């Protein structure tokens, strides 16, 4: 928690009701989901109607400027009087912004940082520098990409100095900047920020969160709005080597395709990205397999119906069944032709034939069938022969391997082909040697650990099919 946060006194009102203004204070709690607490000396609104989304936006003004609380919910009333003055109302909010009122308006630009972003930029030597002044001429060049929806994204860097009795220290941090032809809104770029957060997490195999999010209301120079980080945004002392960086891809093409994948298959990216959430391995396996199916549905051609399927659909026409039933039957018939083992093997092939064999063993079919059987057994409460359902090494290696396949297939689907290696198209191994551009990355260490079990899949498959 940001221990230096001082409570903010001010006057507060709900969006859409500016005439009802209540005095109160905002402070920061240790709650993870909604850390901001607003205590009001009166009733801001009536109790909201029951529903799925009871969140509101609350605006404020005080000696320190203007403020916005987003995703705020009314938690409790204290007091039993008949008038609003007799009531103390408590609100909790997920997001707090300084410097203005955020009500969904267009901004000139939205900027944000991610931990260790310079590693993805490919200029980790700029990560920290002591002993002198940094100028804009010293910073790495800005990379840019035109995205769909008339938006553009830029990856640059900014320098930040700290001054102490022992001297001065300068740090360079990577930073994204998003603009749009007709402006951008904070909610409008939310999915883009999320997909790039997932990308950064995959690159360094560490859960990350966006921070120092700022909105510019004009062409320059000072951001008028900034989201306040509820926790101290400090990197660990470690310097992370990414699995790949921006110099290993066509930056514009990769960013365009990655952000489109994030909007079309968010469940796949969410399942592939490292998370601090601790779920049982069986539940994680189910989620990653859902991600596999979501990505496969997006990038693989729909299977064709055979003659038997067509006759079955024709019989439904003769029977005069409603259209929605026929559409459901058609989708189920197509799913029958493209089972989970087929989807797993198809996505695994995207890393290259030699890479897949090195990671998963000589038979992709045995690996895919084994993982699918395990997922189905836990999903549907089915038994497995030979005690395989409770075989911990089998369960853990299945989860780690299918997660690795999902990560690599997402990168390949976004355009990464390891083009500059001795074996283009092979993401991990080629000609019997490692060809990944960053073999010292945490993700590649994880892949090597998975590959150490590649000779186990045949034995596990035999136990599943005695």
Cα-based distances in Å from 363 to 212, 367, 404 = 47, 7, 17
What predicted TM-score, i.e. pTM, was given to this entire model? 0.81
| pLDDT tens-digit series, residues 337-371 | 688 999 999 999 999 999 999 999 999 999 999 99
The residue whose two tokens read 């605006």 is: 59
pLDDT band at 12 (very low <50, low <70, confident <90, very high): very high
- In this predicted model, what pLDDT tens digit does every residue of 97-122 receive, in sequence order? 988 888 888 888 899 988 888 888 87
Residues found in the chain: 466
Q: What is the pLDDT of residue 48?
A: 55
* pLDDT score for 77: 67
pLDDT at position 139 over 70: no
pLDDT in tens, 224-270: 678 887 775 545 445 678 999 999 999 999 999 999 999 999 999 99
d(CA 248, CA 121): 10
Q: Quote the tokens at residue 391.
A: 């075989």
Q: How far apart are CA 464 and CA 385, in angstroms?
A: 6
User: Would the pLDDT of 16 be above 80?
Assistant: yes
**For residue 75, what is the enclosing H or E element?**
strand 65-78
What's the mean per-residue pLDDT of the chain? 83
Please tell me the predicted confidence (pLDDT) of residue 135: 45
Q: What is the C-alpha separation between 79 and 90, in angstroms, rounded? A: 12
Residues 6 or more apart whose Cβ sits within 8 Å of residue 149: 180
What are the tens digits of pLDDT across the range 408-439?
Answer: 999 999 999 998 888 889 999 999 999 999 99
What is the per-residue pLDDT for 126? 43
Assigned token pair, 128? 């920290």
Lowest mean pLDDT among 36-45, 166-175, 399-408: 166-175
98: CB partners within 8 A, 6+ apart? 64, 65, 67, 225, 226, 228
Q: φ and ψ at 239, to 5 degrees?
A: -115, 120
* The token pair that represents 240 in the structure block: 């992370």
What pLDDT digit, counting tens, does each position of 181-229 carry? 888 888 889 999 999 999 999 999 988 888 888 888 765 544 567 888 7
- How much is the pLDDT for 289? 96
Closest CA to 251 of 412, 117, 437, 414: 414
Please write the tens of the pLDDT for every residue from 362-405.
999 999 999 999 999 999 999 999 899 999 999 999 999 999 99
Structural contact between residues 384 and 369, judged by C-beta atoms closer than 8 angstroms? no
Q: Which residue has the higher pLDDT, 373 or 171?
A: 373
């Amino acid at each position: 928690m940001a221990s230096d946060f001082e409570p903010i006194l001010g006057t507060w009102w709900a969006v859409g009701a500016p005439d009802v203004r209540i005095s109160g204070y905002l402070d920061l709690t240790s709650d993870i989901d909604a850390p901001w607490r607003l205590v009001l000396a009166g009733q801001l609104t009536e109790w909201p109607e029951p529903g799925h989304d009871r969140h509101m936006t609350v605006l404020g003004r005080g000696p320190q400027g203007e403020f916005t609380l987003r995703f705020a919910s009314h938690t409790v009333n204290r007091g039993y009087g008949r008038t609003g003055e007799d009531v103390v109302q408590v609100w909790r909010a997920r997001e707090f912004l300084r410097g203005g009122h955020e009500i969904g308006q267009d901004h000139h630009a939205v900027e944000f940082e991610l931990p260790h972003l310079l590693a993805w930029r490919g200029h980790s030597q700029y990560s920290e520098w002591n002993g002198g002044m940094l100028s804009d001429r010293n910073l790495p060049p800005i990379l840019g990409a035109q995205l769909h929806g008339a938006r553009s994204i830029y990856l640059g860097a900014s320098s930040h100095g700290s001054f102490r009795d022992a001297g001065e220290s300068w740090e360079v941090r990577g930073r994204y900047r998003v603009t749009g032809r007709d402006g951008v809104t904070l909610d409008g770029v939310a999915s883009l920020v999320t997909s790039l957060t997932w990308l950064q997490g995959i690159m360094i195999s560490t859960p990350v969160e966006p921070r120092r999010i700022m909105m510019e209301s004009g062409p320059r120079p000072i951001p008028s709005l900034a989201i306040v980080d509820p926790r101290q945004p400090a990197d660990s002392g470690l310097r992370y080597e990414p699995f790949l960086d921006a110099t290993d891809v066509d930056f514009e093409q990769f960013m365009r395709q990655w952000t489109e994948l994030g909007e079309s298959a968010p469940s796949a990216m969410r399942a592939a990205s490292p998370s601090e959430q601790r779920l049982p391995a069986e539940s994680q396996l189910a989620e990653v397999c859902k991600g596999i199916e979501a990505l496969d549905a997006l990038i693989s051609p729909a299977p064709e119906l055979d003659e038997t399927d067509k006759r079955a659909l024709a019989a439904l026409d003769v029977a005069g069944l409603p259209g929605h039933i026929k559409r459901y039957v058609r989708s189920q018939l197509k799913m029958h032709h493209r089972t989970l083992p087929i989807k797993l093997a198809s996505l695994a092939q995207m890393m290259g034939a030699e890479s897949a064999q090195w990671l998963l063993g000589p038979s992709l079919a045995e690996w895919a069938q084994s993982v699918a059987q395990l997922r189905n057994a836990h999903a549907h409460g089915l038994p497995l022969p030979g005690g395989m359902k409770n075989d911990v090494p089998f369960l853990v290696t299945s989860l780690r391997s299918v997660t690795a396949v999902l990560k690599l297939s997402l990168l390949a689907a976004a355009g990464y082909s390891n083009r500059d290696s001795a074996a283009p198209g092979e993401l991990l191994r080629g000609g019997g040697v490692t060809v990944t551009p960053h073999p010292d990355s945490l993700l590649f260490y994880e892949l090597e650990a998975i590959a150490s079990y590649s000779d186990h899949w045949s034995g596990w498959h035999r136990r599943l099919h005695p």
